[in-house]
Amino acid sequence: MLREARPDPVTVTDPMEGEYASTQLPGRDTRDNGLAPKPPAPGGSILVTGGAGYIGCVLTQRLLERGYRVRILDRLYWGEEPLAGFREHVDLVVADIRDVPATALDGIDAVIHLAGLSNDPTAEYDPEANWQMNAVGTADLGRACVERGIERLVFSSSCSLYDGLPAAMYDETAELTPHGPYAESKRYAERELLALQDSGLCPVILRFGTVYGHSPRMRFDLVVNTFVKDALLQARLSLHGGGWMWRPLVDVRDAADALICAMEAPAEVAQGETFNVLHSNYQIRELAMLVAGSVQLLGRQVSLEEAPAPPLTRNYECSNAKLAGALGLVPCRSVVEAVADLLSSIDVDDRAMLTDPRHYNIRWFELMHEVNSRVDQFGSVL
């Protein structure tokens, strides 16, 4: 169900009385997305795979705030720097999702599974690694949970499963025909986890729209964040094919809260269920206008330019009605709010940070492969 906003008190002038009067005006970060203020059983131990990633860092902070003990399993492709704000408060297991140590599940009450390759470009860069991480690794993790008696596993899937379907608004019952290595691996993983219900697993599947917003492990290769970066570096945004394509999107904080909500939900409500997670469906053209307007408030000019359509376009819309109805969670942080927060959280004049390859998944993997070949040849970096 929708929650009523809780505005911050703001003092304004009452023109009728000629004096200052107190009234309520809406402000940023005042809305409630429906996540319960307190967990039903605080103090539990949660394993977050991929906890050093873009969503994982934000999720970990939220879990710690709610009183959970957190263990992160991550290969640390981007180093430990994203964990700096909470490193001393978590147990870190440096491991690959394709080879999870048995001890990583010791004392764990629930698993939130984010690890793996995160989008089409990285999946297509190495389809076999993508399959082993996203598909086989997820299935193996589910079976390991069954063996250890861990019931709740929340899996981060993707709304990209709806890509390629005829134009329509899709809910979780849509007949899927996944296209490409990434979507195929996610669909396989969903089915494998759901098949483990008879063995005692309580899986919950969350299909996320494209995520936006600030994170300690920042990414500038996601559409809204990319527009922010382009507006700051180039003072222009390119609208490929006019930017008329639709895409479901969600803020990273709402994404983290959805994962927590799915973990905390009663089994009779969540077991074996799939939920789309999005704030809204946006046209790319609309996103460009919102970002341009926000950056222009900094006194910078940003132009919008038409550009040829790419060979492959993604164009689909999803419904989040089931998430709101069954779990009571309604993602509430808009693109405008997230962009304002992002612009206030980064140094907008730091070109080195904005172009750092660590903030672009595919670029970073390409660079690591190049360096790896040199290390293999000479045996060391120096």
**Is the backbone of residue 307 left (phi > 0), alpha (psi -120 to 50) or beta?**
beta
**pLDDT exceeds cutoff 70 at 296:** yes
Q: How confident is the model at residue 381 (pLDDT cuts 50, 70, 90)?
A: confident
Please name each of the domains of the chain with its CATH number: 45-213+250-279+312-333 (3.40.50.720)
Average pLDDT over residues 254-263: 98
Reported confidence tier of residue 173, pLDDT bands at 50, 70, 90? very high
Q: Tokens for 92, please give them.
A: 């870190």
Cβ burial 336-357 (10 Å sphere, 16+ → b, else e): ebbbebbbeebebeeeeebeee
Rounded CA-CA distance 212/226 in Å is: 9
**Residue 372, token pair as written in the block:** 């790896």
**Does the pLDDT of residue 28 top 60, yes or no?**
no
Q: Are 248 and 283 in contact (CB under 8 A)?
A: no
Closest CA relative to residue 156, chosen from 259, 284, 48: 259
Q: Across residues 221-228, what is the average pLDDT?
A: 98
CA distance 53 to 81: 11
Pick the more confident residue, 20 or 52: 52
What is the average pLDDT value for the chain, to the nearest integer? 91
Residue 2 has pLDDT above 50, yes or no: no
Q: Between residues 118 and 29, which one has the greater pLDDT?
A: 118
Q: Look up residue 100 and give its two tokens.
A: 């999870």
Summarised one tens digit per residue, pLDDT across range 109-126 is 999 999 999 988 898 889
Residue 29 has a pLDDT of: 58
Tokens matching residue 46: 């949660």
Angle at 207 between CA 187 and CA 221, to 5 degrees: 100
**DSSP character for 200?**
T
Q: Which two tokens stand for residue 101?
A: 């140590």
Q: What's the confidence (pLDDT) of residue 314? A: 85
